[in-house]
Amino acid sequence: MKIGDVAAQAQVAPRLIRYYEQQGLLTPDRAANGYRTYTDEHIERVRRIAGLVQAGIPTRLVKVLLDAEDAAARDEPTCPAQVAEQLAAELGPLEARIACLTRSRDTIRRYLERTEHQALLSTDRTPPA
């Protein structure tokens, strides 16, 4: 499968997939002509990477998490001390972003509850994963 197909199915731009490859997050196969070729597993990995990045996790940490997941799938030790330290260091900033987003969501919800558009709150507006 070509990069455009993966991009469409994962709902990301092809240039983002190339960026993930440059960052060492994704390794597509190569055809004899040098073109990238992808499988369904690549689509799932792109979705996983995009989800982590959208959650505010920097790509350097996404790499650490994916490497740990890959090691776990191979029944290898998954969390050396250095990885644990990187993850622990990220918790504070991540908690702060979550708190900020929660305050923003609650402010918007309270505002809409006081308007004639309150019915919009009952509609599921969760974006697709």
Among the residue ranges 2-16, 21-35, 69-83, 90-104, the one predicted with the least confidence is 69-83
Structural domain includes residue 129:
no
The tokens for 82 are 């250095």
Residue 119 vs residue 127, higher pLDDT:
119
Domain that holds residue 94: 79-123
Q: Are 41 and 97 within one domain?
A: no
Count of structural domains, the chain: 2
Quickly list H helices, the chain.
Answer: 3-10, 14-22, 40-54, 59-73, 81-113
Which pLDDT does position 75 carry in this prediction? 84
Q: Are 43 and 2 within one domain?
A: yes
Share of the chain above pLDDT 90, in %: 52
Amino acid sitting at position 8: A
Which pLDDT does position 20 carry in this prediction? 95
Q: How far apart are CA 33 and CA 24, in angstroms?
A: 22
Q: Are 68 and 23 within one domain?
A: yes
Q: Binning pLDDT at 50, 70 and 90, where does residue 126 land?
A: low
CATH code for the domain in which residue 6 is found: 1.10.1660.10
Q: Is the pTM value of this prediction over 0.85?
A: no
φ/ψ (deg, to 5) at 125: -115, 25
- pLDDT tens per residue, range 15-42: 999 999 999 999 999 989 988 899 999 9
Which pLDDT does position 121 carry in this prediction? 86
Which pLDDT does position 22 carry in this prediction? 94
Q: How far apart are CA 72 and CA 65, in angstroms?
A: 11
Which pLDDT does position 55 carry in this prediction? 84
Structural domain includes residue 36:
yes
Which pLDDT does position 73 carry in this prediction? 82
